[in-house]
Amino acid sequence: MSENILELKGITKSFATVKVLKDITFSLKKGEILGLVGENGAGKSTLMNVLGGIYQRDGGDILLDGKKFEPSNPKVSSDAGIAFVQQELNLFTNLTVMENLFITEMKRSKIGSINKKEMKKIVREKMEELGGTGISPDDIIGNLSMGQRQMVEITKSIMKDSRIIIFDEPTTSLSNKEKEKLFEIMHRMQEQGKSIIFISHILEDVFAYTDEIAVLRDGEIISQRKTKGADSNTIIKEMVGRELTNIYPVCEKEIKDIAFEAKNICQNGRFENLNLHIREGEIVGMFGLMGAGRTELLRCLFGLDEMDAGELFYKGKQITPVNPQNCIKNGMAFITENRREEGLLIPKTLKENIVLSSLREHKKNLLFMDAAKEKENTDKMVKSLNVKTFDPGKQTAGTLSGGNQQKIVFAKWVLREPKIFLLDEPTRGVDVGAKYEIYTIIQELAKKNSCVLMVSSEIEELMGVCDRILVMSNNRITGELTKNEYVPEEIMKFAVGGVK
């Protein structure tokens, strides 16, 4: 009897004239955690969608327990014991946690009425299994943080008694504590004989928590090997097809005088007289643990959430009123951490998304848009940001990989040549190759005298990209470090509440 629970042999898949999967062959053993890595656009999500019955393959065989398996639709895959924890959250934001978890199978009492009491009990038990996240069954999904939503998505998957669980970038929105709990749960599943495919761009996690690593590049499996004995340089080279010696680009730029200032920012119940400044050409990083107030501050500075008091200035001129429309008018741009709900129009084409923030600049007259100018600027952004697409005028944003979607979010704002760039987790869910490209974009903006404020949960990323780092804890700025002061332990000290 085969030790493999799943085998893929010669799987192919094309969209229009583009061949996305090319003769994919790999295996998953029973009770194994397999890491699947590759650049954005390499075909990881497409491959998993074929396995999940969302896409139908063009050729090749899928064997489940040694027998041919035909995942003709998602229900067939689910009934066969294959569960997914998706990178992009599939939750109804207007419904409660309980309603999301039981959306297809509501528990009923003996008389046929919906048994909310039993469902709430099950939700609490499953949430407790994930480490007591503080999430209530009655919480509305739209009121939860991204990290909490991800935990609900994970709970939805583990509620099914599945034999194969596919985790597609499950840790991108989780705190370190939540990540540790997730990996505990994964290993508990492994001890129960379940098999796991773990897709992640965080190679440190892949090396720490998997038994084997499979590398996917440009729709082809480049290698599959035991994790023990593998090295990160080899894996990265196989992922990107080249040596990647410098993770962070070096950019010769001049940091000038203070240009952007936020003075005495107050928001009831959150910020009290918070101040910061950014010089022309400067990239300022902002670190903090989940709940520190980083995202909330960026939303406040961009006018998405109202401030009770405080002032914004650019080169001595006050930006008022502080609302998104006026902030954009004054050269501000905002990259949200939630690209699918807030950063993109998923059903629209890449072109429509890219020109979205510059509609007035692309008007031909009162009635018509300048189609030629739209195409010219779209093509320019697609080329400069290296977006993988077969036709930006026809392909929709929802069909792109996560990393390429993020590049489109960037393109929308970069086209406007912003003076003040607010970035909230700009490389979340992005592979090492695409990260380098995004870092280069950020450096080029700074080189052109933009002020950049960059929120990230990765200390090393901030140390590699930023000229100065601010640290937040409990809605306060508790630390400020310049390049010659960068020490991870020092940064973390401020993040847990220490004040410099």
Task: Give the Cα separation of 454 and 446 in Å (integer).
Answer: 12
- Residue 32 in any domain: the answer is yes
Indicate the residue among 176, 206, 240 that finishes a domain. 240
- Give the domain-ending residue among 212, 240, 268: 240
pLDDT higher than threshold 90 for residue 16: no
How far, in Å, are 27, 224, 383, 471 from residue 9 at the CA level? 9, 14, 34, 49
Q: What is the pLDDT of residue 169?
A: 81
Sheet of 220-226: strand order equals 82-85, 164-168, 195-199, 33-37, 212-217, 220-226
Q: Which residues contact 377 (CB under 8 A, 6 or more apart)?
A: 354, 355, 358, 362, 415
pLDDT of residue 247: 76
Asked whether 438 and 427 are in contact (CB, 8 A), the reply is yes
CA–CA dist 349, 396 (Å, integer): 4
Pairing of the two strands 212-217 and 220-226: antiparallel
Residue 141 is classified by DSSP as G
Give the mean pLDDT of 441-454.
94
Q: Are residues 439 and 483 both part of a single domain?
A: yes
In a domain, 247, yes or no: no
Domain contains 249: no
Written as one string, the DSSP assignment of 82-122 is EEEE-SS----TTSBHHHHHTSSS--B-TTSSB-HHHHHHH
pLDDT interval class at 252 (50, 70, 90): confident
Is 250 a member of any domain? no
What is the model's pLDDT at position 154?
78
Domain range for 57: 4-240
Query: Is residue 330 domain-shared with residue 479, that is, in the same domain?
Result: yes
Taking residue 325's Cβ as centre, other Cβ atoms within 10 Å add up to 9
How many domains does the chain divide into?
2
Same domain, 426 and 338: yes
Average pLDDT of every residue of the chain: 88
Report which listed range, 109-118, 236-245, 444-453, is most confident: 444-453
Evaluate whether residue 252 is within a structural domain: no
Per 3-state DSSP, the chain is made up of helix, strand and coil in percentages (nearest 5) of 35, 25, 40
How far apart CA 49 and CA 163 sit, in angstroms, is 17
pLDDT at 245 over 60: no
Residue 321: is the preceding peptide bond cis (ω within 30°)?
Answer: yes
> How confident is the model at residue 250, as a pLDDT?
80
The verdict on 164 and 307 lying in the same domain is no
- Say yes or no to pLDDT of 88 above 70: no
**Domain match, 158 and 289 both:** no
Residues 204-228 pLDDT 10s: 889 999 999 999 988 899 999 999 9
The whole-number pLDDT of residue 68 equals 94
Q: What φ, ψ does residue 154 adopt, rounded to 5°?
A: -65, -40
Dmax (CA) of the chain: 75
CA dihedral 130, 132, 133, 136 (to 10 degrees): 110
Alpha-carbon dihedral angle through residues 66, 69, 74, 77, given to the nearest 10 degrees: -20
**What pLDDT shows up at residue 295?**
92
Specify whether 221 is located in the same domain as 327. Answer: no
Q: Is residue 278 classed as helix, strand or coil in its secondary structure?
A: strand
Q: Are residues 158 and 288 in the same domain?
A: no
**Are residues 59 and 203 part of one domain?**
yes
Q: What is the pLDDT of residue 87?
A: 62
Asked if residue 245 belongs to a domain, the reply is no
Residue 59 forms beta bridges with which residues? 12
Does 473 lie in the same domain as 395? yes
Q: Does pTM top 0.75 for this prediction? A: no
Q: What is the average per-residue pLDDT within 128-149?
A: 80
Query: What is the Cα–Cα distance from 365 to 206, expressed in whole angstroms?
Result: 53
| Residue 180, domain member (yes or no) | yes
**Residue 161 sits in the same domain as residue 267:** no
Q: Both tokens of residue 188? A: 């508990």
Q: What is the dihedral of CA 165, 167, 170, 171, to 10 degrees?
A: 100
Mean pLDDT, residues 137-153 taken together: 84
Asked whether 309 and 262 are in contact (CB, 8 A), the reply is no
Task: Look at the block and give the residue holding tokens 């990230």.
Answer: 456
- Indicate whether 262 and 236 sit together in one domain: no
Residue where a domain stops, chosen among 240, 266, 296: 240
Residues 339 and 397 in one domain: yes
> 478-492 pLDDT, tens per residue?
999 999 999 888 888
- Which range of 54-63, 249-258, 486-495 scores highest in mean pLDDT? It is 54-63
- Structure confidence at residue 467 (pLDDT): 96
Is residue 125 helix, strand or coil? helix
Task: Specify the pLDDT at position 500.
Answer: 44
What lies within 8 Å, CB to CB, of 117 at 6+ separation is none
Q: Other C-beta atoms within 10 Å of 369: how many?
A: 13
Residue 270: give its domain's CATH number. 3.40.50.300
Q: Using DSSP bridges, classify how beta strands 309-314 and 258-267 pair: parallel, antiparallel or unpaired.
A: antiparallel
Is 178 inside any structural domain? yes
Summarize the confidence of residues 453-468 as an average pLDDT.
Answer: 92
